[in-house]
């Protein structure tokens, strides 16, 4: 892998959650506390599996983010308890969600160094999906918003959404690169468009984002950590 491979790249987009800063570990911790709260109604595995099922059911209606997650926890509590869940338990679930929204933003190691480097060489944007207010809060708290030409918060990451952004920026897919941790959301849709992608896996991934089959593509590269970008871009 060398810089010569990417000499024609004009615009680079970075994912946010679990690429620039921690996100999924907060959901995992909230889920753990949620299962402990409801342990009289079922095992941790039963509760977690039902929660995942309900989250997927809710995606078309509520989308992604803490608010959708909180609503899914409430419905999970109702179902797993056969409608016996108490008002006090519901209140605690709401508290878990509110607590997560107000978590500080922890940039991953070397992120600020890499972002400063990339913005001096490329048209640098951030493309993240989720709840608009939640993502705006995280972007503001991150302290790195000023390095990006623009921030795009979308409800879903699919080829049509990426194409819409590229068309507005008047950027050809062949001169665009997406960098992120999610194979499903950050990598496969842009490869389908004919763009380039670099996958930087995070140590934990939401089950809905997992792609089980190995992806091999001439325009796909993988890095172990974000600092490796300094050697190839």
Specify the domain boundaries for CATH 1.10.150.240 within the chain.
Answer: 25-101
Predicted pLDDT at 205: 86
Which residue positions in the chain have pLDDT lower than 50?
1
Predicted pLDDT at 208: 83
Specify the domain boundaries for CATH 3.40.50.1000 within the chain.
Answer: 3-22+106-232
| CATH class in words for 3-22+106-232 | alpha beta
| CATH class in words for 25-101 | mainly alpha
pLDDT tens column, 140-170: 999 999 999 999 999 999 999 999 999 999 9
Predicted pLDDT at 8: 86
Predicted pLDDT at 148: 98
Predicted pLDDT at 206: 83
Distance, in Å, from the CA atom of 37 to the CA atom of 101, rounded to the nearest integer, reads 19
């Amino acid at each position: 892998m060398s810089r010569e491979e990417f000499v024609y790249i004009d615009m680079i987009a970075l994912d946010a959650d679990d690429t620039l800063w921690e996100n999924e570990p907060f959901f995992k911790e909230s889920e753990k506390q949620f299962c402990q709260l409801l342990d009289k109604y079922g095992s941790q595995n039963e509760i977690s599996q039902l929660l995942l099922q309900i989250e997927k059911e809710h995606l078309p209606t509520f989308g992604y983010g803490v608010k959708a997650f909180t609503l899914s926890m409430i419905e999970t509590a109702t179902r797993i308890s056969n409608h016996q869940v108490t008002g006090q338990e519901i209140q605690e679930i709401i508290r878990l969600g509110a607590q997560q929204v107000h978590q500080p933003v922890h940039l991953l190691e070397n992120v600020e160094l890499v972002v400063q480097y990339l913005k001096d060489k490329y048209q640098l944007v951030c493309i993240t999906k989720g709840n608009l207010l939640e993502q705006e809060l995280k972007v503001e708290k991150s302290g790195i918003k000023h390095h990006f030409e623009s921030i795009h918060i979308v409800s879903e990451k699919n080829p049509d959404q990426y194409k819409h952004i590229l068309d507005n920026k008047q950027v050809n897919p062949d001169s665009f690169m997406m960098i992120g941790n999610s194979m499903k959301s950050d990598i496969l849709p842009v490869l389908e468009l004919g763009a380039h992608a670099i996958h930087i896996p995070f140590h934990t991934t939401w089950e809905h984002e997992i792609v089980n089959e190995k992806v091999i593509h001439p325009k796909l590269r993988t890095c172990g950590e974000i600092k490796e970008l300094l050697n190839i871009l």
